[in-house]
Amino acid sequence: MMWTGFWRRAHSYEHAANEALNVHRGVGVIDVSTLGKLLVQGPDAARFLELLYPNRFGDMKVGRIRYGVLGTDAGRIMDDGTIARLGEDQYYVTTTSTGADTVIEWFEWWNAVWGLDVETVNLTGALAAVNVAGPRSRELLGRLAQIDTSNEGISYLDAKETYVAGVPCLILRIGFVGELGYELHFASPYGEYLWDALLEYGADLGIRPFGLEPQRILRLEKMHILVGQDTDSESNVLEAGMPWIAKLDKEDFVGKWALEHVQERGFREQLVGFEMTDGVVPAEGGQIVLGGRPAGRVTSSRLSPQLGRAIGMAWVRPELAHVAPRFASPLARVLAGTTSVLDLSQLGKIEVRGDLDAIDVDAEVVRITQRRALVLCPYEQCAELRARLPGLVIDMTGALAGLELEGEQAMRRLTDLDLEGLPAAGKVAEVPALVLRDGSRFRIFFPQEFAHYVGEVVLDVLEGIE
């Protein structure tokens, strides 16, 4: 067992590496009851969350989920979690295991200032939760849940209320571990019963419980941040590789002025993923030294049994955030063996904000808005182009995955975008994306955390057409 805040959680049940591999290859279950769970409801609930978080929640459809990062009034990351819209005026908010009390105090403090018609209820102790994850998790859930568990029945980032093994549950199709997964939230008195039911009905599928240590290996493979470990009191979403979260065109939100300042002054450091070529797992908190001088610090590191090498995350100076492409494409495993879809993840992708008419480079420039563009180039040219591009320049190569496919019929099944009006930003397989067109071929760029899911959906669509 190990402590996480005020909670004691299982470090692992047998061997952490084997538990992580079992999630990749079959199905695993982890107790996540320690997550903070808040109900935010009232006529002003949407406006309330819009003011608290840098991203949007007022435009969410009922039954959908969105990842959110909560910031201080100085723009620093204080917590993260998911927000599900259960009704027009009702949201279900999850927080980190150590963050529930802080978040609810933060919510109540700000509402004392704003005086909005909204109520926040802390359900952390009243509800238990488990995460069922792995390629066979859908099969297991299909045996116990009273809903259609196909991808059409409960899509990625869907929230559905149903019964699982006879227990009323809120199912969130989300995951912290990079595999197909479902979080089940339910009244805590049913915790032991539902846990046992999952293990019983999943026995022939090879289900095994996994602990906090294998979960941390899996989240690091996905490059999902751990607040308080990969972030500190100075970290913000822009420098932490999540600029897509900060909707700076919103009228206002807590910390907006600070993020605008970061955007104007440029980055002082950036959070990056790395992998080791010598098999050594660097110490967490260790310094990165270049030429005898400090150049950064390691925040997380583990040996990945799936990749067979040491991986990690680190804060480094901006000029070091783009050193040789040592990262593995998040789409590589999904697209292995297929020639119908090309992996564009390691294509250079540089976002430019500012006067786009001043851009004068030998590269493809895709205008997203009047003052925002994406520059596409071979990875080897990124460093040169970053130095020549005007305005705020953000290298998104590691943050964005990308793929290319052929066929208008397939694209019409994947998106509601006007295919004659491309390039355009919108949703592809319900994931935020930028879509480009060249004749019958389409290129799609989207946050890398959705790579595994989007790759599977695209392959399923193409297989259905064939």
Block residue for tokens 């929230």: 159
pLDDT of residue 6: 81
pLDDT of residue 384: 85
Nearest Cα residue to 36 out of 193, 227, 201: 227
Three-state DSSP class for residue 44: coil
CA 218/CA 242 separation, integer angstroms: 19
pLDDT of residue 326: 46
CB 354 within 8 A of CB 392: yes
The CA-based angle 410-416-418, given to 5 degrees, is 90
pLDDT of residue 330: 63
CA 352/CA 368 separation, integer angstroms: 10
Three-state DSSP class for residue 453: helix
Three-state DSSP class for residue 367: strand
CB 453 within 8 A of CB 401: no
Ranges of the chain whose pLDDT falls below 70: 278-279, 323-330, 466
pTM of the model: 0.77
Tokens at 356, concatenated: 């786009």
Domains detected in the chain = 2-218 (3.30.1360.120), 225-320 (2.40.30.110), 332-465 (3.30.1360.120)
CA 70/CA 184 separation, integer angstroms: 23
- Give the side-chain half-sphere CA count within 13 A for 21: 11
Q: Which helix (H) or strand (E) holds 258?
A: helix 256-265
Q: How much helix, strand and coil, in percent to the nearest 5, is found in the chain?
A: 25, 35, 40
pLDDT of residue 325: 42
pLDDT of residue 323: 64
The 10s digit of each residue's pLDDT in 177-199 is: 989 999 999 999 999 999 999 99
Q: Which helix (H) or strand (E) holds 259?
A: helix 256-265
